[in-house]
Chains A and B, each alone.
Chain A
């Protein structure tokens, strides 16, 4: 076992891990931050997306030890300081951007990474950015709509309700 230290959601944390410990395992089992979901564990579905040094990363496909010293943000770090939902999270609720909710942590983290680089994306850009985030329930329309709404754009003309 080797010690690894990171800043997770603004807090310095550390723990003893094996070489093979994945970031997703360190977060879920080591830190009990179970908001990060593991859907496929094969780098396909994006449920496990977190931010590492500000960039979207699949936490099931990164080793904890390789990220020693990194700044990590998970879904638990997305709410506002007073505990209310962030703009993106609130938009997912307002526009029914989730059904079972399993994919939602990854969707919200990907959406946040997109809007950071591209504050007013087109619908095509949103869909393209979500290439690696799979949802079994919604059919995506309301996820796309929620993200467009979170970017402050008019979504009254977008496909489904």
Chain B
């Protein structure tokens, strides 16, 4: 790994200033960035740790009833703190990677990275969450812009993520056992005004909403409602772990399972 200056500010304002320097980059839990740096695929002059910023940690509920999660909150904390208030989200967080990864990795880091096989993008898009940064609020529908691409500008920090809480929800992950990421993951959320279905691991443009299933499930929230649908395979990822057709098939199967398990 190339060397760098390390800085660990204690406020968002100081972090934004530090990230304004040339070739500065944010560090969340480091579970993606440190392995990338070891391969010399990332290089920076200053690494700005967000782990000392108390105002970016923790889970609470706001006046609108949304669950607000600080950008530097670990997966383990989300799993524990949302177990009662948003079980679909807690279930997703509790199955990311392994316990040691969950004790360091953060929601802000996961959403900033937007790995096409990561779990949190499915929860954020499936819930219609709001990504809050030091500069603005971004709706999940505008935030994800393709594989590893997001609406974030250089040096912009995810300070908080706000999740509206659905009536029922569930995440089904078909694990790719070597990486422990999702080969295909589907997040289903049933709100009073309709159902949202977000798919990760499958789309060659990263996380996406399966609108056909959303329409079918909004009028009939049952596993049977998606059984007659089919997912086109031409937009699916194809690699040694699974062909495009296999992934397209899994999207439907995982959606059905998520609907059946939603609570």
Contact = CB atoms under 8 A, between A and B. Distances in A.
Interface string B82-119: 00000000000000011111011000000000000000
B8 A20 contact: no
Contact of B100 (A56, A65, A68): A56
Interface size class of A (residues with CB under 8 A): 20 to 34
Given A55-B76, A55-B103, A66-B49, A42 B6 contact: no
Contact of A65 (B6, B31, B98, B101): B6
Contacts of B27: 63, 66
Given A62-B30, A63-B30, A20 B1 contact: yes
Interface of A is mostly: mixed
A4 B38 CA distance: 21
A129 B97 CA distance: 10
A49 B38 CA distance: 18
A159 to B, nearest CB: 20
Contact of B51 (A41, A66, A113): A66
Interface in B1-55: 1-6, 8, 27, 30-31, 34-35, 37-38, 47, 49, 51
A132 interface: yes
Closest CB pairs A-B (n = 5):
A132-B98, A19-B6, A131-B98, A55-B103, A65-B6
A129 B51 CA distance: 25
A57 interface: yes
A156 interface: no
Interface in A1-46: 2, 18-20, 22, 41-43, 46
A133 B99 CA distance: 10
